Chain A
Amino acid sequence: AQSVAQPEDQVNVAEGNPLTVKCTYSVSGNPYLFWYVQYPNRGLQFLLKYITGDNLVKGSYGFEAEFNKSQTSFHLKKPSALVSDSALYFCAVREYGGSQGNLIFGKGTKLSVKP
């Protein structure tokens, strides 16, 4: 069965410092991996995805994520955090070639960036 874990409910970072939001996954085959961001009272907004190819994926707003197959991880990173990055971040996974309806979301990690 597929699963995704975001081990931290909340991450606190000072503005200008690097940030990491962690995600680990479990699928029986190769994964499709996604990161979404949700600002207060808004829908989920697509940030980036890994399908195949380069393990380092770059996305919107300066975010990037690294696919690590051996550690089954897909951590979200940004070199320098902004206060405006404060939001709820969701990791999602489904099996390569699997059903669209089998996209599994993590519980979310609240990122708080302080000035």
Chain B
Amino acid sequence: DAGVIQSPRHEVTEMGQEVTLRCKPISGHDYLFWYRQTMMRGLELLIYFNNNVPIDDSGMPEDRFSAKMPNASFSTLKIQPSEPRDSAVYFCASSTWETQYFGPGTRLLVL
């Protein structure tokens, strides 16, 4: 298995622009998680899905953030409009019922 796939790996954008991050989970995994990692706050859970349904989005910082999972093999995290404080590494992870496996992350820089 290729593991969790994320794209793009790096994104540089200007404040106010829309940013879309993409994730393909491991086949057969029915949980999908979006995390954000910063030096100041460490690893934060933003939202997670079970069987494509959002279960808990309490970690989503603001209405500027949205996430979708239209099918079992694809999810997006969208930031609109982006702000410099959104600069971070965004990870997607997937699991069955026990162990989460992480993707390589998307390093986002908002200028």
Contact = CB atoms under 8 A, between A and B. Distances in A.
Interface of A: 32, 34, 36, 41-46, 49, 51, 90, 99-101, 103, 105, 107-108
A46 B94 CA distance: 12
B30 to A, nearest CB: 10
Interface residues of B, number: 23
Contact of B98 (A41, A51, A107): A51
B97 A100 contact: yes
Most central of B93, B95, B99 by chain A CB within 10 Å: B99
Contacts, number: 45
A84 B97 CA distance: 31
Contacts of B55: 99, 101
Contacts of A108: 42
Nearest to A90: B43
Contact of A34 (B33, B42, B99, B105): B99
A103 B102 contact: no
A49 B99 contact: yes
B56 interface: yes
Contacts of B48: 100-101
Interface in B17-35: 31, 33
Contacts of A101: 33, 45, 48, 55-56
B7 interface: no
Contacts of A99: 55-56
Given A100-B50, A101-B48, A45 B102 contact: yes
A22 to B, nearest CB: 17
A36 B101 CA distance: 10
Contact of A100 (B31, B91, B107): B31
B98 A43 contact: no
A115 B18 CA distance: 46
9 contacts: A43-B102, A44-B43, A44-B91, A44-B93, A44-B102, A51-B98, A99-B55, A100-B100, A101-B33
